[in-house]
Structure 1
């Protein structure tokens, strides 16, 4: 089952959301510091029952942050503003951990907008726990000149599966299911790189939030809270106390049992899906089918304008305010290259031509290729157990500002540069683009062949 991706403007903010399935609508709110990407597999399952709509919360994924120092009320109100922008009147909703806290607060403030809530783990912190979190849980996260922040980030995300809270490295704080899976750690690391220091606003609002669970006797919409064995919030089921009629909280054995109980509960409160959801006109994702690629391409700009195509290892966000640009397969926010012959220039040209037809572009220009051997320009950046790929990529983007090619620094290869381009915030954008570029080497080879055979520049 395919997931589509979209953007909608919520006032002055841009919000990204995923959509999957058919039937009644279901809103899905992710935990912090994740994004709607964490629900991809679940959306494909639940899409058999619902049209699943999963937004990136403000400041996470590809959604703009809220201004200032927002409270949980601000996040709850922003969620209702999103419902307005999408054209959704009333929805059943699912949220895990902090996603559930946002939903419960939104239910308290806007009960008419929710048919029912299913929540995975609802935190009821003690005063001592709250103090501990305020002191240590959310350190600032800022890029540093030589990539030192990446070493901290890798280990912080790795060890959050070993201890809870992550900073309490004590025997009594061990979790039941520790792992060192680089793929799992990398997924969260990338989402933290997307959020940057904005992660503290969303996470902090949830940690500081007063608990807003409906009280016995309240007139409210039904709420189901479940938590499975191994979830650090399972014991918090015992802290909830009495709930109103129609609501319940229970412990279950497995994540699958939690998901099934949530789905069964929400299916009893269907709400119609509107014919069309709100969506912006100057950014989005187009489905492209061409030899070698079948997936979504991210685009931004003015349709029917000349198309600009980025270079290997880069992304449209590095092109500045251009009329029209796309992220190529295996770059930026677009899907990975899926077919055979990934260095075939005809296959890449077919993808670009398909994008041009869909977007109405009639001309195309390309960023120039960097000098050097593509086999050396784009080394393997597969996530490894120790997170070395993160600092390797940082060293590459820094060196690429100083030498051409970056891998051969010498008196014969200096590159003119503006020191302002070495500020960590700028390097962080280029670093993120390089990490996302799973097909950089292939695009370089194909582009070089295009220049030889077609004269493109």
Structure 2
């Protein structure tokens, strides 16, 4: 089932969400520090039963953060209900895993009329000692450093959070049974963490500080199911839940697949139809292009009818703040990649650009300048590796690119003019993120050079 992507304005914040399927609506709230991207496989499965709606929580994925870096769990709950308002959804069944479940239970407490039922994957009941341990070291600042040191920390922190819980307590007693060393899985979380930056502490912190929001046994409430599978560090918390309201139930299950099957069966009893049309921003979003060689979603931003700016290889529209209208090319930014190997012929890229210009009513097409140098050396492979070296390799390329042209010829005769602000870590972080998102930078450079001949 196809997943589409959208933006909608919620007050002063822009929120990104994914959508898939048809039928009754199911809201899906992700854990921290992930984004709605983690639900893509589940959405493809559950979209057989529901219209799945999965937003990026404030400060995660592509959603704007709260201005208050100490926002509470109540702010996240209210923000979720405001998102429903922006989409035109009155009442909804919802699913949340870990942090997403904490947010949903608080939202149910504050806005009981908005939810028909919840299914939760693991609900944390922290002891005072656990809260103390978490407050001491669970959420260190995450800020870009001049030479990319933060990337080494991020890789190992994400990897070892499946080895130990909490991740920083490296002791025999804290080892987990679900340890892995899969670089693709680590990379998925790393990319979400890079999108959040230091804002990851806001959402994570709100959840860790959250009080137990389970209603009193006699209090009226919508039905809720809480399950946790073997290997989930929150499975033991099932025993900490205490007496639940009659409409609530909780149990331990053997596998993640069983948790998902129990949850979807439960939610199917309570999901309701939604509006015919969901809210969406007028100046940013995604549209599908189907031309020979490419069928995928293209991310765009700006004013329809303006000249369309096309970014250079290894870049994206977020690096074109002055452009009146821009897109991410296939295999760049937030747009879908090319199917299979990206093409190097100019005709394939031109078809996509012309189709995008037609959709956006662009008056003209303007191209960013192309870098000089050997495409193979300018854009080496950035596939995730076991130790995360691809992250620091990309950071070094971005930094050197402000000092030499081409970046790989660090010689006096290749030095280029620069301003110290060009090397500000926050700016390098944006360029670094664009570079590692680019799976077709080399091919776009070759094709563009063909166009210019």
Would the TM-score normalized by the shorter structure come out above 0.5? Answer: yes
Q: For residue 354 of structure 2, what is the aligned residue in structure 1?
A: 353
- Take 2:193 and 2:221, find their aligned partners in 1: how far apart are those partners? 35
Corresponding position: 1:34 with 2:30: no
With the length of structure 1 as denominator, give the TM-score of the two structures.
Answer: 0.98
Partner of 2:55: 55
| Rounded Cα–Cα distance in structure 2 between residues aligned with 1:123 and 1:391 | 35
For 1:272 and 1:47, locate their aligned partners in 2 and report how far apart those are by CA, in whole Å. Answer: 14
Quote the Cα distance in structure 2 between the aligned partners of 1:78 and 1:382. 36
Measure how far apart 1:367 and its partner are: 0.3
* 2:74 is equivalent to residue 64 of structure 1: no
* TM superposition shift of 1:270: 2.0
SS of the counterpart of 2:413?
coil
Q: Distance in 2 between matches of 1:124 and 1:261?
A: 22
How far apart are 1:418 and its partner, in Å? Answer: 1.0
2:200 matches 1:199: yes
1:178 equivalent in structure 2: 179
Q: How does the TM-score come out when normalised to structure 2?
A: 0.99
Contact 1:292 1:341 in 2 (8 A): no
The aligned residue for residue 20 of structure 1 is 20
Aligned to 1:89: 90
**Matched residues in 1 for 2:246 and 2:56: separation?**
32
Greater shift, 440-449 or 360-369, is seen at 360-369
Which residue number in structure 2 is paired with residue 320 of structure 1? 321
- d(CA) in 2 for partners of 1:216 and 1:349? 63
Alpha-carbon shift at residue 340 of structure 1 (Å): 5.7
Counterpart CA distance in 2 for 1:186 and 1:204 is: 23
Contact 1:123–1:236 (8 Å) recurs in 2: yes
Aligned to 1:455: none
Shift of 1:266: 0.4
Tell me the residue number matched to 1:305.
306
Q: Give the match's secondary structure for 1:157.
A: helix
Residue 434 (structure 1) shift: 0.2
Q: Which residue of 1 aligns with 2:408?
A: 407
Write out aligned runs for 1:45-194 (5 A): 45-68=45-68, 69-194=70-195
Distance apart, 1:363 and its partner CA: 1.0
Tell me if structure 2 keeps the 8 A contact 1:291–1:339: no
The count of corresponding residues between Structure 1 and Structure 2 is 452
SS in 1 for 2:57: coil
Task: Tell me the equivalent position of 2:292.
Answer: 291
Give, in whole Å, the separation in 2 of the partners of 1:341 and 1:221.
Answer: 49
How far apart in 1 are the matches of 2:163 and 2:256?
18
Is 1:211 the counterpart of 2:212? The answer is: yes
Runs of 5+ in structure 1 lacking a partner? 453-457
Contact 2:16–2:56 at 8 Å: present in 1 too? yes
Within 5 A, what are the aligned runs for 1:352-431?
A: 352-431=353-432
Q: Distance in 2 between matches of 1:274 and 1:93?
A: 16
Residues in 1 aligned to 2:41 and 2:322: alpha-carbon distance in whole angstroms: 34
Q: Is 1:271 aligned to 2:272, yes or no?
A: yes
Residue 412 of structure 1: SS of its match in structure 2?
helix
State the 1:246 CA deviation.
1.9
Deviations 1:325-380 (A, max 9, x none): 00000000001111566101000000001111111113101001001010100011
Cα separation, 1, equivalents of 2:168 and 2:214: 28
For the 8 Å contact 2:342–2:440, the answer to whether it is kept is no
CA contact (8 A) 2:401 2:407 kept: yes
CA contact (8 A) 1:292 1:340 kept: no
Indicate whether 1:435 and 2:441 are aligned: no
> Does the residue aligned with 1:224 lie in a helix, a strand or coil?
strand
Gaps of 5+ in 2: none
Moved over 4 A (4+): none
Deviations 1:158-197 (A, max 9, x none): 0001000100100010110110000000000010000000
Residue range with higher mean Cα deviation, 276-285 or 333-342: 333-342
Q: 1:321: Cα distance to partner?
A: 2.9
Cα distance change on mapping 1:412 and 1:157 into 2, 3 Å: same
RMSD value, Cα: 0.7
In structure 2, the residue matched to 1:9 is: 9
Map of 1:342 onto structure 2: 343
User: Does the 8 Å CA contact 2:375/2:442 hold for their aligned counterparts?
Assistant: yes
Q: Supply the distance in 1 between the matched residues of 2:52 and 2:381 (Cα, whole angstroms).
A: 35
Does the 8 A contact of 2:152 with 2:392 survive in 1?
yes
